[in-house]
Amino acid sequence: MSTAPEKLSESDSPLDLSAIRADFPILDQTVQDKALCYLDNAATAQKPRQVIDAVAEYYRRDNANIHRGVHTLAERATAAYESARERMADFINASATEELIFLRGTTEAINLVAQSWARPRLEPGDEILVTELDHHSNIVPWQLVCEQTGATLRAVEVNERGELDLESFEALISRRPRLFAVGHVSNALGTINPVKHLVERAHAFGVPVLVDGAQATPHMAVDVQALGCDFYAFSGHKMYGPTGIGALWSRKELLTEMPPCQGGGEMIKMVSIERSVWNDVPHKFEAGTPNIAGAIGLAAAADYMESIGLDAIGDWEHRLLEHATRRLSETPGVTLIGTAEQKAAVVSFVVDGVHPHDLGTILDSEGVAIRAGHHCAMPLMEKLGLPATARASMAFYNTLEEIDTLADALVRARELLA
């Protein structure tokens, strides 16, 4: 490896980074008198003005409740909401628009599948399979439903690089669990799981698969038909959209046979005191007034990402990942955690002599925002034998210079505490 510092600049990017950064008003600020260097995108991504404007414009001009009023604003709001559904169904290449249910986010989507699809099917002795790499939101809903039904939760092991152990997977999937739930991309380590392969193997044993796509949709083009999965859940705020909006996709025949989880307005066709008739999919699962502005903002985020190009986003984020991996590996006392071959732009690491939480505070004083902690993946941390890690997670608006700022700040953190 060459020791001469390679001169890298924004001009190496295929993206027009200064124009892109100008779309994100929040990036243009100082924190503790230093330029903000936002590297906590896996927690939540920043929003371009196109998203902020879409939400504001809806409230300024179109706000009304949907699917009921006959007045002009209600019709505009309904059209905007339903066109957002069409947009998002298209974004993940669903075969039908009504297969996309708007929910609060990935967590609510997984809980819905656990309670509506799994709970009526599970019996004592049945198994649900997750992985040690998963986020708590793809573990705890299954624990709850296992407690309710007497089923057993099992987890595919991870290897020392932070990849799923495929032998462990084969052994557990051949036990024919009732469902396999797996993250597309690990939030804690960035590992991209071989979802298509996992789905093929699971289906060979007749096991349906739920994919937690919260960390995938921000980074790559997702095609649910090509993946072959049965459920796909994702969140708006991780992919440059608003908080409080996300979606569940599933095939229409599965959704049709699932009972609703929540009762209320919108999810019914007819109500009497004796009984009610459920509305059609997807409205059956959208009780109450939904997050209309959120759905519109999410569709604007999808538009924005596609205007830049998902391939271009992926290429630049890969460059950021390579640069971060190299700079951090070369920084004395830094150990990278999670070295999977296929990774999204996330680097998890520990620094000798500096606890991740101290690191978080010290980096903040340099304007650098990272995450420190267990990343809602305590089973993974226990497996790795670590109480916590520091995590820098990149987005396409990040620059190579920001990664240099991070690496330089790590050196100063060690000087201070180690």
Partner 1 sequence: MDLKDLYHEIIVDHNRRPRNFRRIENPTRVSEGYNPLCGDKLKLYVVEKDGVIEDVAFEGSGCAISMASASLLTERLKGKPAEEAETLFGQMHDLLTGKGEDIDTEALGKLAALEGVKAYPSRVKCATLCWHTLHAALQGEDLATTE
Which structure tokens are listed for 316?
A: 């630049």
CA–CA dist 5, 65 (Å, integer): 58
Which structure tokens are listed for 343?
A: 């990774």
- Bridge partner residues of 248 (DSSP): 101, 233
Q: Give me the least distance between CB of 418 and partner 1, in Å please.
A: 8
CA–CA dist 286, 345 (Å, integer): 33
Q: Give me the least distance between CB of 348 and partner 1, in Å please.
A: 14
DSSP state of 44: -
Residue 37 in contact with partner 1, rule: CB under 8 A: no
Among 266, 303, 322, 358, binds partner 1 (CB under 8 A): 358
CB 65, CB 80: distance < 8 Å: no
Residue 96 in contact with partner 1, rule: CB under 8 A: no
Q: Which span (9-17, 92-100, 312-320, 372-380) binds partner 1, by CB under 8 A?
A: 372-380
Nearest to 136 by CA among 110, 156, 175, 162: 110
Q: How many residues bind partner 1 (CB under 8 A)?
A: 18
Q: Give me the least distance between CB of 369 and partner 1, in Å please.
A: 13
CB 401, CB 39: distance < 8 Å: no
Cis amide bond preceding 141, omega within 30 = no
CA–CA dist 88, 176 (Å, integer): 32
Among 152, 355, 401, 411, binds partner 1 (CB under 8 A): 355
Cβ proximity to partner 1, 175 vs 357, nearer residue: 357
Q: Give me the least distance between CB of 413 and partner 1, in Å please.
A: 10
Q: Which span (41-49, 173-181, 231-239, 355-363) binds partner 1, by CB under 8 A?
A: 355-363
Which structure tokens are listed for 43?
A: 């927690």
Q: Give me the least distance between CB of 364 and partner 1, in Å please.
A: 9
- Bridge partner residues of 337 (DSSP): 348
Q: Give me the least distance between CB of 360 and partner 1, in Å please.
A: 9
Among 15, 321, 337, 388, binds partner 1 (CB under 8 A): 388
Residue 121 in contact with partner 1, rule: CB under 8 A: no
Cβ proximity to partner 1, 326 vs 374, nearer residue: 374
Q: Give me the least distance between CB of 372 and partner 1, in Å please.
A: 8
Cβ proximity to partner 1, 84 vs 362, nearer residue: 362
In the residue annotation, 146 being an active-site residue is answered as no
DSSP state of 226: H
Residue 136 in contact with partner 1, rule: CB under 8 A: no
Query: 348: exposed, middle or buried (C-beta count within 10 Å: 0-12, 13-18, 19+)?
Result: buried
Residue 373 in contact with partner 1, rule: CB under 8 A: yes
Cβ proximity to partner 1, 95 vs 361, nearer residue: 361
Q: Which span (3-11, 168-176, 252-260, 360-368) binds partner 1, by CB under 8 A?
A: 360-368
Which pairs with CB-CB distance under 8 Å and at least 24 residues apart come from 24-27? 24/48, 24/49, 24/397, 25/49, 25/52, 27/397
Cβ proximity to partner 1, 73 vs 416, nearer residue: 416
CB 298, CB 242: distance < 8 Å: yes
Among 118, 222, 362, 394, binds partner 1 (CB under 8 A): 362
CA–CA dist 14, 12 (Å, integer): 7
CB 298, CB 84: distance < 8 Å: yes
Among 18, 32, 289, 342, binds partner 1 (CB under 8 A): 32
Residue 29 in contact with partner 1, rule: CB under 8 A: no
Cβ proximity to partner 1, 311 vs 382, nearer residue: 382
CB 165, CB 159: distance < 8 Å: yes
Among 76, 203, 374, 383, binds partner 1 (CB under 8 A): 374
Among 29, 174, 225, 361, binds partner 1 (CB under 8 A): 361
Cβ proximity to partner 1, 173 vs 381, nearer residue: 381
Q: Give me the least distance between CB of 223 and partner 1, in Å please.
A: 37
Angle in degrees, CA 22, 25, 30, rounded to 5? 105
The number of helix segments (H) and strand segments (E) in the chain equals: 14, 17
CA–CA dist 71, 84 (Å, integer): 20
Q: Which residues form the interface with partner 1 (CB under 8 A)?
A: 32, 353-358, 361-362, 365, 372-374, 381, 387-388, 416-417
Active site residues: 376
